[in-house]
């Protein structure tokens, strides 16, 4: 089952909406990066707002807001028409990322288990 989180976003008309956001998979995120032809993907995580970052977050928001089970389909025009600004779009990406497996540190075996013990003979 796909993880879903609700995020509050402000629309152009000043109204506040609670939207369900699903977690994107690593494959979907890498697909967006590839689709957009982003060369320096590390800039997507930086604090500076770049054209690639804006394009990535809009594409990610479209996918994260589209939840098949609710039949709620989002596209670029719907986001452009409704969302008040880029910060509101960024909230969707942050919510999606926060519930994805990518936001959690990789599990590592404990030092005890990873150490090979060779008995003395």
Q: Are 43 and 52 in contact (CB under 8 A)?
A: yes
Start-to-end CA distance of the chain, whole Å, equals 51
Q: What is the pLDDT of residue 112?
A: 47
Q: Which helix (H) or strand (E) holds 10?
A: strand 4-10
Q: Following CA atoms 65, 20, 86, 81 in sequence, which dihedral angle do they give, to the nearest 10 degrees?
A: 70
In a structure prediction context, what are the per-residue pLDDT tens digits for the chain, which is 121 residues long?
Answer: 567 899 999 999 999 999 999 999 989 999 999 999 988 778 777 778 888 888 999 999 999 998 877 777 888 899 989 999 999 999 998 999 888 877 666 555 554 455 555 556 5
Q: CA distances (Å), 77 to each of 19, 24, 44, 82, in order?
A: 17, 20, 22, 8
What is the rounded CA–CA span in Å between residue 77 and residue 58? 11
Q: What is the pTM of this model?
A: 0.75
């Amino acid at each position: 089952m796909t993880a879903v989180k609700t995020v509050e976003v402000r629309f152009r008309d000043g109204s506040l909406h609670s939207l369900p956001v699903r977690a994107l998979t690593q494959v979907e995120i890498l697909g967006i990066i590839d689709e957009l032809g982003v060369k320096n993907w590390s800039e997507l995580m930086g604090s500076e707002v770049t054209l690639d970052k804006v394009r990535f977050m809009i594409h990610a928001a479209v996918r994260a807001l589209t939840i098949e089970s609710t039949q709620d389909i989002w596209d670029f025009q719907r986001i452009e028409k409704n969302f008040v600004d880029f910060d509101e779009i960024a909230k969707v990406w942050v919510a999606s990322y926060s519930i994805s497996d990518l936001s959690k540190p990789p599990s590592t075996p404990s030092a005890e288990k990873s150490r090979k013990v060779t008995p003395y003979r």
